[in-house]
Amino acid sequence: MRYSKTGTAKYISHLDLMSAMARALRRAGIGLQYSEGYNPHPYLSVALPLPVGSGSLCELMDFGTQYELLPDGLTDLINTELPEGLEALDVYKPDSSFNEIKWLKLSGTLHYDKGAPDNATASLNERFKMEHIVIIKKTKRGVSEIDLIPYINNVAFFGNDVIKFDAVVSAQNPSITPRDLISALEGEFDLLKPDFSSFTRVELFAANMTVFR
């Protein structure tokens, strides 16, 4: 299922999202497939868990069913049961696995309490054209240094007092997050670091830059 997560739903945690999706699918009359054992749970899997506070127009979730489903009408049926801010966009039988997702497109806004610094757009674009950008990245394995440049397909900043940008970055192995992009502005470029930032995930791509399905 391809779905969007916008508005107040951006602040639903990953665990709460999984519970909301499971309830909506059950209420829609879909016979979910469950694991075995003392504490059975439905087979639900999200492609790339979204950070709390970020929106998305392209989330993907796999779910197992007890029987073959006909996709016609399923999207509308599921939407009648989803809470505000979550919307099913398409339901289909996939031809690819989530580990084939290579790139994701982000759009974002950088907010400055006192207005953007002079020439901020040009300075930001120059920053991300550098040969290397080394940041400290936190992962499940700990903290390590990483050069962002090999994992940024493209990025462009535009605007004046409110700076907007579009970026295509590595989706996994490693996953480049909005926080990583902001980390690139620490230290020497601290004046460019926003007081607040917001992000929306726009699209997911395979390695050849075709839209992932």
Q: Average model confidence (pLDDT) for the chain?
A: 91
Helix (H, G, I), strand (E, B) or coil at 156: strand
Q: Does residue 191 contact residue 92 with C-beta atoms inside 8 Å?
A: no
Which has more confidence, 23 or 160? Answer: 23
pLDDT over 90 (residue 126):
yes
Domains of the chain, earliest start first: 2-94 (3.30.70), 99-205 (3.30.70)
Q: Does residue 111 contact residue 192 with C-beta atoms inside 8 Å?
A: no
Predicted confidence band at 36 (pLDDT cuts at 50, 70, 90)?
confident
Spatial distance between the Cα atoms of 21 and 200, rounded to a whole number of angstroms: 20
Taking the model in full, what pTM does it have?
0.88
Predicted confidence band at 70 (pLDDT cuts at 50, 70, 90)?
low
Q: What mean pLDDT do residues 105-132 have? A: 93
Q: Does residue 94 contact residue 63 with C-beta atoms inside 8 Å?
A: no
**Tens digit of pLDDT for each residue in 40-59?**
788 899 999 898 999 999 99
Spatial distance between the Cα atoms of 180 and 195, rounded to a whole number of angstroms: 15
User: 24-33, 102-111, 133-142 — which is least confidently predicted?
Assistant: 133-142
pLDDT over 70 (residue 71):
no
8: phi then psi, degrees, rounded to nearest 5: -65, -20
Side chain identity, residue 157: F
